[in-house]
């Protein structure tokens, strides 16, 4: 059984999709749409996201079904290691992913992250300290960085 639910958060609605065993995506959306049929995996993600937004959770413990190239998988795994409230440059992620010269490719892989917030791509910034890009609205990235800074 698979599940799809929407949860309202301080950054707007998030769509949470699972295959019944693991999450297959968390993304930002402007409003709920289509059929909704939650399952225990999606419900657990919703619970942990609620804890994150109340400042009670700093790391997620969810089963993720990551599907991508070897390089993307290395980048996404490196995202999971960025501590709450910290930022890392694209070049730092490139080094952590074992491809120190692949900064542009890292930007592309970060932009394809299928698990908004859970794999904290919002914590990746340009080496000059500017925010860089973001697959969702850049204001969400700004909010999340400020939110985590204020929790610490």
High-pLDDT (> 90) share of the chain, %: 87
Enumerate residues 6+ apart whose C-beta is below 8 A from 148: 84, 85, 123
Q: What average pLDDT does the chain have? A: 94
Angle between helices 70-80 and 103-111 (to 10 degrees): 80
pLDDT tens readout for residues 91-101? 999 999 999 99
The residue assigned the tokens 């968390």 is 26
110 and 131 Cβ atoms separated by less than 8 Å = no
Could you read off the pLDDT of 106-120 as tens digits, one per residue? Answer: 999 999 999 999 999
List the beta bridge partners of residue 6.
15
Distance CA 112, CA 142 (A): 19
Write down the pLDDT at residue 1: 61
Active-site entry in 29, 67, 103, 121: 121
Q: Is 121 a catalytic residue?
A: yes
Q: What predicted TM-score, i.e. pTM, was given to this entire model?
A: 0.93
The per-residue pLDDT for range 20-46, each reduced to its tens digit, is 999 999 999 988 887 788 799 999 999
pLDDT confidence of residue 38? 78
């Amino acid at each position: 059984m698979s599940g799809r639910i929407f949860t309202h958060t301080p950054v707007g609605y998030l769509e949470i999709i699972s295959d019944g065993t693991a999450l297959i995506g968390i993304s930002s959306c402007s409003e709920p749409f289509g059929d909704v049929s939650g399952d225990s995996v999606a419900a657990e993600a919703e619970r942990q996201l609620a804890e994150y937004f109340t400042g009670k959770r700093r790391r997620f413990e969810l089963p993720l079904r990551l599907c991508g190239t070897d390089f993307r998988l290395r980048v996404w795994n490196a995202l999971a290691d960025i501590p709450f409230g910290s930022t890392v440059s694209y070049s730092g992620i490139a080094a952590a992913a074992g491809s120190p010269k692949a900064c542009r490719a890292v930007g592309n892989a970060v932009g394809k992250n299928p698990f908004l917030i859970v794999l904290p791509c919002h914590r990746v910034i340009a080496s000059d300290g500017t925010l860089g890009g973001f697959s969702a609205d850049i204001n969400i990235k700004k909010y999340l960085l400020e939110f985590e800074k204020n929790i610490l």
